[in-house]
Structure 1
Amino acid sequence: MEKFNDIYQRAVERKGSTQMLQQLLAKPASKRQLVALSDDDWLEEFTRKVFQSGFYWSVINSKWAGFREVFWQFSVEKLLMMPPDMLEQKASDERIVRNYKKVKTIPENAFMIHEVTQQHGSFSQFIADWPSEDIIGLWAYLKKHGARLGGNTGPYTLRALGKDTFLLSRDVESYLRAHKIIDGGLQTKKSLTAAQAFFNELQQQSGLSMQELSLIIAYSVGDNRVGISQQQ
């Protein structure tokens, strides 16, 4: 297994300098910032990521104001009281992307959030308390108890709202396979456990967040074009 310093130096070389690489990195939110998020914030971002999966993100984003209007700004409390026939009406509203199967996830994920809040005080507290050294356990929880939150949907939501997590992007997956850290299916328990162990080891070596490590690995390989040119 490569050492963190080797990965980091390759990312520096590919991006032009240490300063340029550092400009591309971002830290996750603090625990205090995470706890400040509302249950409604989580439901909105889960829904956004569910709809972005398989669609052009720009299409979903262009209609997002309509989504917020139709679904009461993603109020968990209001959506839990919504009768089934009203959901069908909302699913056909022209202000949103009309996909009934995905629309059904909204009350389902609202219920999941509500159940967690009953047990932990708030959904954000539950997320903030989950240790990043077992972030795949949180991914598994979202997949099991949520609706359409498996694969990268749950992890991308966590990243979007600031929870420290690595992502199995194409560049990260390519790295893990090239270095024989994973083989077989990406989402198998064996592969996920191996990926988590690898990131935990890198974190011990570097002291960086899972998010920063994930970005550094991605920038050290592949065809990503997010670097800043040396002339800028």
Structure 2
Amino acid sequence: MEKFNDIYQRAVERKGSTQMLQQLLAKPASKRQLVALSDDDWLEEFTRKVFQSGFYWSVINSKWAGFREVFWQFSVEKLLMMPPDMLEQKASDKRIVRNYKKVKTIPENAFMIHEVTQQHGSFSQFIADWPSEDIIGLWAYLKKHGARLGGNTGPYTLRALGKDTFLLSRDVESYLRAHKIIDGGLQTKKSLTAAQAFFNELQQQSGLSMQELSLIIAYSVGDNRVGISQQQ
């Protein structure tokens, strides 16, 4: 298994300089920033990622103002009181992408968020308290208790709102397979456990966040070079 310094130096070489690489990295949100997010914020981002899956993101983003209007700014409280026949009406509204199966996830994920809030005070507190060294456990929770939050949908939502997580992007997956860290299915328990162990090891070596490590690995492989000579 490669050491962190080897991966980091290759990423630096590919990006042209340490400064260039650092400009591409971003830190996750602080625990305080995460806790400040509302339940509605989480429902909105879960819904955005559910709809972006399998669609051009630009199409979903262009209609997002319509989504917010139709679904009451993603108010968890209001959506929990919505009768089933109203959901069918909303699913056919021209202001949104009319996909009933995905629209159904909105009240379902609202219910999940509500249940977590009842137990933990707020959904954001629950997310903020979950240790990143077991981030795959949080992925599994969202997949089991949420609607259409498996695969990369849950993790991409976490990343979007600032929770420290690595992502199994194509470049990261390519690296993990090339270095025999995972084999077989990407989303199997064996592969996810091996990926988590690898990132935990890199974190111990570097002191960096899972997010930064994930980005560094992605920048160390794949078709993402920057044509800038190494600066002294």
Any conservation in 1 of the 2:109–2:147 contact (CA below 8 Å)? yes
- Per-residue deviation at 1:196? 0.0
Structure 2: distance between partners of 1:96 and 1:226: 38
Any conservation in 1 of the 2:143–2:150 contact (CA below 8 Å)? yes
CA-to-partner distance for each residue in 1:10-44, whole Å, 9 max, x for gaps? 00000000000000000000000000000000000
Structure 1: distance between partners of 2:89 and 2:229: 50
- Per-residue deviation at 1:225? 5.3
- Per-residue deviation at 1:230? 7.2
- Per-residue deviation at 1:135? 0.0
Residues 227, 155 of structure 1: alpha-carbon distance in 2 compared, 3 angstrom cutoff:
farther
TM-score (norm 1): 0.98
Gaps of 5+ in 1: none
Equivalent residue number for residue 116 of structure 1: 116
Structure 2: distance between partners of 1:31 and 1:148: 26
CA-to-partner distance for each residue in 1:63-111, whole Å, 9 max, x for gaps? 0000000000000000000000000000000000000000000000000
Structure 1: distance between partners of 2:63 and 2:167: 26
Residues 39, 77 of structure 1: alpha-carbon distance in 2 compared, 3 angstrom cutoff:
same
**2:175 aligned with 1:181, yes or no?**
no
CA-to-partner distance for each residue in 1:184-230, whole Å, 9 max, x for gaps? 00000000000000000000000000000000000000012578787
- Per-residue deviation at 1:153? 0.0
- Equivalent position SS for 2:13: helix
Any conservation in 2 of the 1:20–1:228 contact (CA below 8 Å)? no
Structure 1: distance between partners of 2:50 and 2:231: 39
CA-to-partner distance for each residue in 1:120-176, whole Å, 9 max, x for gaps? 000000000000000000000000000000000000000000000000000000000
Any conservation in 2 of the 1:21–1:227 contact (CA below 8 Å)? no
Structure 2: distance between partners of 1:93 and 1:64: 13
Structure 2: distance between partners of 1:126 and 1:146: 14
Any conservation in 2 of the 1:35–1:124 contact (CA below 8 Å)? yes
Higher mean displacement: 217-226 or 189-198:
217-226
Structure 2: distance between partners of 1:55 and 1:229: 37
Structure 2: distance between partners of 1:229 and 1:41: 42
Any conservation in 2 of the 1:112–1:145 contact (CA below 8 Å)? yes
Any conservation in 1 of the 2:17–2:231 contact (CA below 8 Å)? no
- Per-residue deviation at 1:231? 10
Structure 2: distance between partners of 1:88 and 1:194: 42
Any conservation in 1 of the 2:14–2:225 contact (CA below 8 Å)? no
Structure 1: distance between partners of 2:225 and 2:20: 13
Any conservation in 1 of the 2:15–2:225 contact (CA below 8 Å)? no
Residues 58, 135 of structure 1: alpha-carbon distance in 2 compared, 3 angstrom cutoff:
same
Residues 82, 161 of structure 1: alpha-carbon distance in 2 compared, 3 angstrom cutoff:
same
Residues 2, 200 of structure 1: alpha-carbon distance in 2 compared, 3 angstrom cutoff:
same
Gaps of 5+ in 2: none
TM-score (norm 2): 0.98
Structure 2: distance between partners of 1:153 and 1:50: 6
Structure 2: distance between partners of 1:208 and 1:75: 35
Ranges of 4+ aligned residues in structure 1 off by more than 6 Å: 226-232
Q: How does 1:155-170 map to 2 (within 5 A)?
A: 155-170=155-170
Structure 2: distance between partners of 1:195 and 1:218: 14
